Amino acid sequence: MPLPKEYRLSRSRIMYIEAKSEGLEGDAVIGRVFFSKSGKTLYYTGLRFQSLKGAGLKANYFETESGDFYWISGPRKDQNDRLYGGNQGVLVDEDVRDEYENLIGQMRRRQSESAGR
């Protein structure tokens, strides 16, 4: 079954998603986020996110149905994705686990190559 129009694999990226409505550290996951054609809307597991356009405090997106705040960003090569460091309790979706591990490895190799110049 093909993905809905807004879920094109070519418009997706592995990203860090953390709920912020309950406080500084909320539930967090590494998963595949899909982008709308314009890039202004993000989709993850049936949720739809819009940018706070810099107006958020410790959050950069809100979920359009609930209004809940989230921090969504690319994963860090040191895997300290949480705002105050660390990755305790961060889940990695099973469908992206291998790709995520390869991505982190590539990021680290690039860093060590540029440090050796």
- Give domain limits for the chain: 9-115
Place of tokens 């409505």: 21
pLDDT of 1 > 50? The answer is: no
pLDDT digits (tens, 9 = 90+) for 11-24: 899 999 999 988 88
pTM score of the predicted model: 0.84
Tens of pLDDT, residue by residue over 21-73, are: 888 889 999 999 999 888 889 999 999 999 998 777 789 999 999 999 999 99
Residue 79 has pLDDT above 60, yes or no: yes
